[in-house]
Amino acid sequence: MGLIPDFKKIATRSPWLYRINAGSCNGCDVEMATTALIPRYDVERLGCQYCGSPKHADIVLISGPLTVRVKDAVLRMFDEIPEPKVTVAVGVCPISGGIFRESYAVLAPIDQYIPIDVNVPGCPPRPQAIIAGVAKAIEIWRERL
């Protein structure tokens, strides 16, 4: 009885991240890579790890305004991620379309198609903001486990 909550607490110390680029300009993706890779912002401290396959992921980082071209691929990939999962939208594009908002090829806001749990605005957001978003996502994830 008492063991399950303890295990859940332990489990939240191992969030694996997966990045989906939904037509981003790569600015946010560079910031995400920075967040993970450079010593100053090391997210591995939180137990995070970027994984190659969507099936291994717990926290999904989506960047970009969701272009018409990638919509089907993104939705399919999102379905491949096993529950329980948390979605973090990185950058201003998933919220409003950002500088691409008037384009005919853009389907933003992204939450019409995918449930978004945390928004990290910015163009691009700072690594500290992305880490704060991931930390927030971990709290939401703890409740879903």
Cβ atoms of 86 and 141 closer than 8 Å = yes
Alpha carbon separation from 126 to 35, 49, 50, 57, 140 (Å, rounded) = 9, 19, 18, 23, 21
DSSP label of 67: B
Q: Based on CB atoms, which residue is closest to other proteins, 81 or 106?
A: 81
Number of residues that bind other proteins (CB under 8 A): 26
Decide if residue 69 touches other proteins (CB under 8 A): no
CB atoms within 10 A of CB 37: 12
Q: Based on CB atoms, which residue is closest to other proteins, 15 or 64?
A: 15
Decide if residue 122 touches other proteins (CB under 8 A): no
Q: Based on CB atoms, which residue is closest to other proteins, 115 or 123?
A: 115
Applying CB under 8 A, the span of 10-18, 99-107, 109-117, 118-126 interacting with other proteins comes to 10-18
Selected binder of other proteins within 1, 2, 39, 72 (CB under 8 A): 39
Alpha carbon of residue 112 to chain centroid: 16
Phi, psi (rounded to 5 degrees) for 105: -100, 10
**Interaction mask 78-97, other proteins, x per CB under 8 A:** --x-xxx-------------
Task: Of 138, 20, 45, give the one whose Cα is nearest residue 86.
Answer: 138
By the criterion CB under 8 A, which residues form the site for other proteins? 7-8, 10-16, 39, 42, 44-45, 47, 49, 51-53, 55-56, 58, 80, 82-84, 145
